[in-house]
């Protein structure tokens, strides 16, 4: 009896062994993410660990690069024929990525349920030419953050509703000796400066392109750059803003060295964390201001999506990972650094609790999101505009001449 039982056990073990490689065949995905703003690296790792527990047959290797390296890393990996299965991409890249076949068209994978559940504005992040090239993941715009304590000391009752009011309030704070340079921006020669500039272009009712040709060198586009130069030369803006990225702005604000700062959603909860921030509990947030007679508020579409590269040999598994990362359950659980793409999430107390002020600003800001120009030549255009902004801030060129040069060098 015991012998036959042992034989049965041995037989079962052998059968198990012969099936083991198939049962535990592991697919490895390589995914490229951003090492700044929005979800933290720790959050992305925690989400991915949860995915791995639910899908033990899929392993995900994560790589994080600064935002500035995300585009080139994605494109270069494609050229080498290897690289990534899943990539994070900015709202400005689908036109280029679709044209150059960097991302797979996933229109057939996007369900009606997804289409109905996700906020309409979020879909613009991943669409080009009527097709879907991924799932929106980071729904983001820039808000005006302010230090409640400093405004109170200056006798300012309400935060600014227009950009001119921001200048006036900054002057009051400076004149009262509360802060020498009350305003901080991300004006380094990088995409960060284009996001701040776009916010102002939206406030002034400007256009980047008309009939595919540059139009930012006149009207609202010119007014926006003139405002930046005036804020900088007035001494109200921190002079280091011309080298700041968003993380620099966050640190300056958290240190109590700025009364006003333009930044993404993620700064709200980080600046309110007493472990890292000297201004915790004093952080106010409102939509970015408007311009009297032209706009009530202003906002840039800074959203990002997750897509499958055309080089991926595992598109089904990659889509499974993307749908997990962008699912309502995952997003609601990590809503403190990036707000969900799902409309009904904003009625969930787990999402809104403790960040009611941010949600209130988001309802206006997300509805006012203004796009950076949709063109396959976006990188050339952005580089030309970044240079124009720097030259104008440094007084090397007038805003008129700088933008005219940018239009000439935009490749459009």
pLDDT digits (tens, 9 = 90+) for 249-267: 999 999 999 999 999 999 9
**Closest by CA position to 258, among listed 266, 269, 246:** 246
Model pLDDT, residue 54:
97
Residue 18 has pLDDT above 80, yes or no: no
For residue 336, CA distances in Å to 38, 112, 151, 284, 340 come to 9, 28, 25, 16, 10
Q: How far apart are the first and last CA of the chain?
A: 85
Tokens of 120: 């309409």
Report d(CA 294, CA 312) in Å as an integer. 46
Q: What percentage of the chain carries pLDDT values higher than 90? A: 84
- Specify the CATH class of 27-140+302-368 in words: alpha beta
What is the average pLDDT across 25-52? 92
User: 242 or 40: whose pLDDT is higher?
Assistant: 242
What is the average pLDDT across 24-33? 88
> For 203-247, how does the pLDDT look when each residue is reduced to its tens digit (9 = 90+)?
999 999 999 899 999 999 999 999 999 999 999 999 999 999 999
Tokens of 116: 């109905």
Residue 3 has pLDDT above 80, yes or no: no
pLDDT confidence tier of residue 165, bands split at 50, 70 and 90: very high
Residue 24 has pLDDT above 80, yes or no: no
The single residue listed with the structure tokens 């284009």 is 194
Model pLDDT, residue 80:
67
Model pLDDT, residue 257:
98
Tokens of 387: 């240079």
Buried b (16+ CB within 10 A) or exposed e, 342-367: beebbeeeebbeebeebbebbebbbe
Do 283 and 148 touch, CB atoms closer than 8 A? yes
Pairing between β-strand 142-147 and β-strand 260-264 as defined by DSSP bridges:
antiparallel
Model pLDDT, residue 78:
82
> For 93-133, how does the pLDDT look when each residue is reduced to its tens digit (9 = 90+)?
999 999 999 999 999 999 999 999 999 889 989 999 999 99
Lowest mean pLDDT among 2-11, 133-142, 325-334: 2-11
Report d(CA 225, CA 233) in Å as an integer. 12
Q: Is 90 helix (H, G, I), strand (E, B) or coil?
A: strand
DSSP state of 239: G
Residue 65 has pLDDT above 90, yes or no: yes
Lowest mean pLDDT among 15-29, 112-126, 231-245, 391-405: 15-29
Report d(CA 267, CA 88) in Å as an integer. 20
Model pLDDT, residue 206:
97
Model pLDDT, residue 4:
43
What is the average pLDDT across 338-354? 91
Residue 32 has pLDDT above 70, yes or no: yes
Residue 181 has pLDDT above 90, yes or no: yes
Half-sphere exposure of 101 (CA within 13 A, CB side): 5
pLDDT confidence tier of residue 11, bands split at 50, 70 and 90: very low
Bridge partners (DSSP) of residue 366 are: none
Residue 20 has pLDDT above 50, yes or no: no
What is the average pLDDT across 2-27? 48
Task: List strands edge to edge, sheet with 58-65.
Answer: 58-65, 27-34, 86-90, 304-308, 135-138
CATH of 142-300+377-408, one of 3.90.79.10, 1.10.10.10, 3.30.565.10, 3.40.190.10: 3.40.190.10
Model pLDDT, residue 120:
86
Do 279 and 254 touch, CB atoms closer than 8 A? yes
What residue segments make up the domains of the chain, in order of their start? 27-140+302-368, 142-300+377-408
What is the average pLDDT across 262-282? 95
Neighbours of 178 (CB within 10 A): 16
Buried b (16+ CB within 10 A) or exposed e, 237-250: bbeebbebbbbbbb
Spell out the residues 6+ positions from residue 180 whose beta carbon is closer than 8 angstroms to its own: 174, 235
Model pLDDT, residue 81:
63
Report d(CA 157, CA 205) in Å as an integer. 28
Buried b (16+ CB within 10 A) or exposed e, 37-47: bbbbeebbeeb
Chain-centroid distance, C-alpha 10: 56
Mean of all residue pLDDT scores within the chain: 92
Residue 290 has pLDDT above 50, yes or no: yes
pTM for the whole thing? Answer: 0.85
């Amino acid at each position: 009896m015991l012998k036959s039982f042992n034989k049965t056990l041995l037989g079962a073990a052998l059968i198990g062994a012969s099936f083991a490689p198939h049962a535990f065949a592991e697919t490895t995905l390589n995914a490229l993410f951003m090492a700044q703003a929005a979800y933290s690296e720790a959050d992305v790792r925690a989400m991915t660990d949860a995915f791995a527990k639910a899908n033990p047959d899929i392993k995900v290797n994560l790589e994080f690069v600064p935002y500035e390296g995300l585009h080139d890393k994605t494109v270069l990996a494609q050229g080498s024929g290897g690289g990534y299965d899943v990539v994070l991409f900015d709202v400005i890249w689908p036109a280029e990525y679709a044209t150059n076949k960097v991302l797979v068209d996933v229109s057939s994978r996007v369900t009606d349920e997804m289409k109905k559940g996700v906020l309409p504005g979020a879909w613009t992040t991943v669409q080009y030419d009527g097709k879907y090239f991924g799932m929106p993941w980071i729904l983001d715009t820039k808000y005006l953050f302010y230090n409640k304590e400093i405004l109170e000391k200056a006798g300012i009752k309400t935060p600014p509703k227009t950009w001119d009011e921001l200048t006036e309030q900054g002057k009051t704070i400076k004149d009262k000796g509360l802060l020498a340079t009350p305003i901080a921006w991300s004006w380094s020669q990088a995409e960060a400066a284009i996001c701040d500039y776009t916010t102002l272009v939206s406030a002034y009712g400007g256009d980047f392109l008309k009939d595919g040709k540059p139009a930012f060198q006149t009207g609202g586009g010119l007014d926006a750059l003139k405002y930046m130069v005036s804020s900088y030369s007035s001494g109200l803006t921190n002079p280091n803003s011309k080298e700041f990225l968003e993380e620099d702005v966050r640190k300056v604000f958290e240190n109590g060295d700025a009364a006003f700062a333009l930044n993404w959603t993620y700064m709200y909860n980080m600046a309110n964390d007493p472990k890292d921030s000297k201004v915790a509990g004093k952080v106010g947030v409102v939509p970015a201001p408007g311009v009297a007679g032209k706009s009530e508020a202003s906002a840039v579409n800074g959203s990002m999506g997750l897509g499958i590269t055309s080089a991926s040999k595992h598109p089904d598994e990659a889509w499974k990972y993307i749908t997990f990362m962008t699912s309502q359950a995952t997003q609601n659980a990590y809503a403190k650094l990036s707000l969900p793409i799902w409309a009904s999430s904003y009625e969930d107390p787990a999402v809104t609790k403790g960040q009611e002020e941010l949600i209130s600003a988001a309802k206006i800001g997300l509805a006012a999101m203004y796009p950076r120009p949709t063109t396959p030549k976006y990188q050339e255009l952005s580089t030309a505009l970044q240079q124009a902004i720097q030259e104008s801030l440094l007084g090397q060129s007038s805003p008129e001449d700088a933008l005219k040069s940018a239009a000439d060098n935009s490749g459009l």
